[in-house]
Every structure is written in structure tokens, then in C-alpha cells.
A and B are shown apart, each in its own frame.
Chain A
Amino acid sequence: MTTSAVEATPYNFAYLDEQTKRMIRRAILKGIAIPGYQVPFASREMPMPYGWGTGGVQITAAIIGPDDVLKVIDQGADDTTNAVAIRGFFARTAGVATTTQTGEASIIQTRHRIPEQPLQSDQVLVFQVPIPEPLRFLEPRETETRKMHALEEYGIMHVKLYEDIARHGHIATTYAYPVLVDGRYVMDPSPIPKFDNPKLHQSDALLLFGAGREQRIYAIPPHTDVVSLDFEDYPFEVQTFDEPCAICGTRGTYLDEIITDDKGGRMFVCSDTDFCERQVARNQGVQNQSSAAASEKTEMTDA
């Protein structure tokens, strides 16, 4: 019947049916039990394209409850198109409260960044993962890489890092920098800049990783050792920026480069927009104590 689509089903809370959520939760629990191990799961088609965060969306859909407060960021920003679309998806299908404030959120779904503000033990950070296999670009075959993980055969990765040093004088991986989790599994932390890697170590928050297209879920439970791979004589280093953020003046955050003209003019601003805004508010508050944090708010969305 032509009307079957028009009268389309009222979707379940957070879109996925309960059986699917249960299946995903089982994969998450297994992931937590074996930190850094990629758990295969029967990823569903979601109403957004593969490669656009379907893994993260499925994890969020499986763990979110009516009382949760959700924050979604892409490249550190709350207002990038895909972050807006995913936040809107959960506001619509789950009717949950959303926020842009890191401190207010109980679940934060992210693509490519970890917020600057340290996360708390009652928060969950959900990463969207494109290619979960850290060895994939060294060995394209899944059958091989699974064997390598099982046998803890990670020499190939160290050789790659060594070759970088031999060729370039330093390790030429700047994002999706591989880590060793709990002394056992080499893991891809998703394409976060290596700047964010230290935040994975002994995190207070639970870190969940979802790769929808590749059908894998993995996890770093709170207070787990996470070591970025390196060599004694070439220790792991994060990016540093020479200048502070041009908007809030903070040093030591991860910055985006903004092109201001076509003659090489550029400026650097915080990639974490929530952090930047609060720094600006704080700076103003120091000058003008009355209106501190006035702009901070949690949006309630109608179901």
C-alpha cells in the first residue's frame, strides 16, 4: 500500500528497537570487559549515511535514557552541520535535553575531538570511528589483522613508526595516533589529533567507540592505562601552538586555523567552541562581575 510509508511507524525511543539496543549493549559490555578489543556487532542501517557517525549514533541510542543530557560535537564544535543534525536526531527521536556545555552533559558524542574541559566519572564520551582497525593501512585484510591482534603481533606498527623517524626525523602521524590499551590491545583512538591522546589515559569518564560501517564497538573503561606508541629515544609528543586563541586568549588548547584573506592572513582559534565561549565569558566576568555566565543555558527540546 502506498499509505504504508506515509503512516510510517512511530519510531521507538531513540529510534532503535529494543532488541537491537540489547545487542549493542552486549557488545558495549564486552568491549568494556576487554579494553581496546574490537567487538563485532550487527550494525544497523541508520537514517543517516554510513561514515557520518552511525556507529556513535547507535551507541548513543543504546545507552541514552529520558533523563540524559546530550551534547554532540564535530571537530570540537557544537554548531558544525553534522553535530547539529545528530543532536536534532536525538532531540526528535528521544526527546532528551541537549546542551552545548561540556559540564552539563551526561553523554557527549564526538567526532575528532575530546573536549578541553576534563570529563567526570558520571559522563560517557562516545566517539564516531571511521576505520576502527589501527593496522588497516598496513594490512588491508581483516582476517589477517584479527590474527595479529590475537597474537599481540604489533611489530608491523612499530616498524611503521620507525620508518617515519628514519625518513622524516620524527613520527609523521598527527591524528588517529595508535595507542596501547591496558598493556594489551593496540587501538585506534579515532581521528582525534594526537594532542588529545593524553586525555585517554586514566580517564574518569567511560570512553566508547562505535564504527557503524565497519561493524565494530570498543571501549576504554574509566581509569585504564592508555599509552601512545613511541620509542624511548623518540618519546610521544603532542602538537603545540605558538600563539594563544585569538578569541579567548587561552594558551594550551587545540586551535583551528582560520583563513582571513587570500594573502596568507590567518588566525588561530579554539576548536572547542564551548570551552572558548566560557573562557570569553569568564574574561568578561573578571572585568564586569555582574553578568558572569549569563549566556550559559541548557536547551530543552520538545519531544
Chain B
Amino acid sequence: MYVAAKGGEQAIANAHRLLAHARRGDRDVPGLTLAQIAGQLALAVDRVMAEGSLYDRDLAALAIKQSRGDLIEAIFLVRAYRTTLPRLGASEPVDTARMQIRRRISATYKDLPGGQLLGPTFDYTHRLLEPEIAENDAPEQPATQAPNRDPVPRVTDVLGYEGLIESSPEAESGRPVADLTREPLEFPADRDLRLQALARGDEGFLLALGYSTQRGYARSHPFVGEIRFGDVEVEVFAEELGFAVTIGRIGVTECQMVNQFKGSAKAPPQFTRGYGLVFGQSERKAMSMALVDRSLRWQELGEEQTAPAQDEEFVLSHSDNVRATGFVEHLKLPHYVDFQAELELVRRMRAEIAERADAEIDPENTGPKNTGSKNTGPAGPNREAAE
């Protein structure tokens, strides 16, 4: 006799124990320290901070350790923690012209004020595996020079001086900063909200969308005006003091994409901008973000909408990997009830078709003797995915 399965609670507890065991790996091998993760897997930490929308290297390192290196899972852990934190206010816009630069390149000018600074980059490395770092990991000390403390003007400011590029939108100090973690996202979304969504959006998704614009799906003729990576100060306006005070420094990557624009009835031909800004060092993400930001501006610039990367509902509704992974993976949850309803329907429809087929073969005898032995039914009704 069948007895309904019980003991789910114990099974879940055991599964979690096994997970903890598997996470630890071989116990004869020393466990990873958070300092090791934060220091040696720094770009993974950067990604978790960026898409987790929380600037905290140690928490991101902990999340990476806890998630066994599954970065989307780590991002989720950070997000679930972040959501419990109070939101005290909004900072002043960070001034990237005053960034303490660790890397800065421009693809539009050979030389420019402030110079090109290559910094720590994979670019131009030969992608050859280096077995020696597996054993004896003691690279040479880096070359150094005294830091440049002067502000480094942005390429877009240089272009802007001549009026060749659209000017940056002015900050509207009276207008509250939109925040999609506090208000539900509604369409059409303003650019600040779009940029927020892109900044925490999935790197892979934005990369693919940005790539699609390069391959002709909403081509925008981009040039990397500038990419810079380094530390910026975060300032908060203190009401009691009447001026802004620095509350900390964060590492960010900024990408200013310079795009062609033919001009319109209202505006003469000039370059337009796509903007990317992410926590930590992630040029791939900042560049993808800038490409997608630009393509989402088609309406404002009087362009034609032809491609997915221009469709703000499509882009913003699907860029969040925590949502995406949750909903894709929820298909693992039981769906017996709905599946039962579909089973019943498919069986019934197959029986009806078989009945009809029998009636055609033997018009005198319409009795439904043969139920469902004929295998000619169409695939079930055209149903959307079971939720």
C-alpha cells in the first residue's frame, strides 16, 4: 500500500549538512581564508560587489567562499544581506575626474592630458598557462613612480570643450535619486534608473547585448573615449555642517563610450555618449553597460528601434541575474498539481481524437471502444511554461 512520502524536513537538513561538507572539500587541505579570496580572487570579489550592489570586499569574499565559487549565488547572498540594511541617504555624485587613477586608457587619442596609464591589465598578455604560479607564486615587485595627484580631465570633457559631444546631463539637486531597490520598476524608466539597473545587471547578459549592437543589431559606431579605474571619494552632504564630507573611498571602473550621431532637425551632428560605471575593476562590464546605455537612448535621440538592446522593457526586465536564476531554477520545485491538470487534458484530447478516428473508419459504430491506443494525437495544447 502506498503511503505518502514523509520526512522532507530531515532530508533537507541532511542535504544542507552534505552541502557544508562538500563546500569544505578535502579537509586535509587548508581552508581558504577570506583574505586570500579578497586578495587573490579580487576580480571575482569585484563582480560580486558590483552585481550584489554592496561595496564590501570582506562580505563579498565570505559570500564567494560560502557559495563554493558560484558567483551568482554569492551575488544573491550579498543582495539578501543588503536588503536588510537601512538606507540613510544618497551620496553626492562621485567625481571621477578626481579619481586616484590606477589605469586609464583612451582609444580615441594617442596622447592626452594625464596620459595613458596601462595599470594592471590582462590586455596584451599572451594567454599561455603559467605552471610556475601553481608552485612558486612570487612575482617581481612592480615598477613604481610618484603618484600624480592632479585631477585628470575626462576625454569627454576635452571633446565637450569644442561642443563636439553632447554635454553631460546636469545633476538636478532638487530631484530625488531614483532607486529600484526601494520603488518598483515602472516603464518608461528614466536614464538614472536604467543606469542603476545596468550597473547591477548580469555581466554576461550585458556583454551579449552590447556585442549584439556591434554586430548590427542597433549599431551605434562606438569608440572607447576613455576607460579609467581607480579610487574615488564618496561624499555625503551633512545637513548640520552645511557641506559635504568624505565618508570613504571606493574602487570603480568608468567607461565613456563616444558614439556617432548624424544629427537631427533639432541638433547638429555631434558625438553622443554611452556611460558605464561599476564597482571594482571590470572593464568588460563597464564597456557593455556603456554600449547598452547608448542603445537604450534611441528614443531621446530620435533613432529607430530595431533591436533587443534598444528595448528597455526587455533589457531591464531580464538583466537581473538573481531574479533570472531564481525563476529559471524554480522549475525544480514540484509542479505535480499543474502537471496533473495537463495530463488529464492531454489524455482527454487524445481520447477524443482516437474516438473521431474510429468513427471515420467505422461510421456505423460510434462506440468509444478504443480509448487512446492510436498514437496520432497532436502534441498537447500550446501552453505557456508551467510556473
Contact = CB atoms under 8 A, between A and B. Distances in A.
B384 interface: yes
A256 B8 CA distance: 18
A213 B81 contact: no
B4 A172 contact: no
B66 to A, nearest CB: 9
7 contacts: A47-B80, A51-B323, A52-B326, A75-B337, A174-B345, A247-B4, A256-B337
Nearest to B10: A84
Contacts of A80: 8, 334
Given A84-B8, A111-B333, 19 more contacts: A2-B58, A15-B84, A42-B183, A42-B184, A46-B80, A46-B83, A51-B326, A54-B326, A79-B6, A81-B11, A82-B333, A130-B327, A172-B345, A174-B342, A175-B386, A216-B184, A239-B344, A269-B2, A276-B4
B342 A142 contact: no
B383 A41 contact: no
Interface stretch (A189-197, A218-226, A288-296): A189-197
A276 B5 CA distance: 13
B79 to A, nearest CB: 4
Nearest to A79: B8
Interface in A4-25: 4-5, 8-9, 11, 15, 17
Interface of B: 2-9, 11-12, 34-35, 56, 58-59, 61-62, 76, 79-84, 86, 181-188, 313, 317, 322-323, 325-330, 333-338, 340-345, 349, 352, 381-384, 386-387
A213 B326 contact: yes
B114 to A, nearest CB: 35
B337 A193 contact: yes
A142 B386 contact: no
Shortest beta-carbon contacts, A-B, top 7: A50-B326, A51-B330, A130-B387, A49-B326, A172-B381, A174-B341, A51-B327
A85 B317 CA distance: 28
Contacts of A194: 341
Contacts of B344: 174, 239
A176 interface: yes
* Interface secondary structure of B, over-half rule: helix
Contacts of B82: 45
Contact of B343 (A82, A257, A267): A257
Contacts of B329: 49, 51
A99 interface: no
A112 B338 contact: yes
Contacts of A45: 76, 79-80, 82-83, 322
Contacts of B352: 169
A143 to B, nearest CB: 5
Nearest to B339: A257
Contact of A52 (B330, B336, B349): B330
A95 interface: no
Interface in A232-274: 239, 246-247, 254-258, 260, 267, 269, 271, 273
Interface centre among A43, A50, A142, A239 (most CB of B within 10 A): A50
A34 B59 CA distance: 42
Contacts of A52: 326, 330, 333
B334 A258 contact: no
A174 B345 CA distance: 7
Contacts of B182: 42
A158 interface: no
A42 B56 CA distance: 24
Contacts of B345: 172, 174
Interface in A30-72: 40-47, 49-52, 54
A74 interface: yes
Contacts of A137: 384
B387 A191 contact: yes
A81 B59 contact: no
B340 A76 contact: no
Contact of B337 (A141, A143, A271): A271
Contacts of B80: 45-47
A215 interface: yes
Contact of B341 (A44, A83, A84, A239): A239
A193 B9 contact: no
Given A17-B86, A112-B337, A174-B338, A267 B2 contact: yes
B341 A195 contact: yes
A175 B337 contact: yes
A227 to B, nearest CB: 20
B334 A143 contact: no
B70 to A, nearest CB: 13
B383 A172 contact: yes
Given A4-B56, A41-B184, A52-B330, A246 B336 contact: no
A1 B58 contact: yes
Nearest to A143: B187
Contacts of B83: 44-46
A142 B187 contact: yes
B387 A5 contact: no
Nearest to A19: B86
B337 A85 contact: no
A72 B341 CA distance: 22
Given A8-B81, A11-B84, A51-B326, A74 B334 contact: yes
Given A142-B313, A255-B340, A40 B186 contact: yes
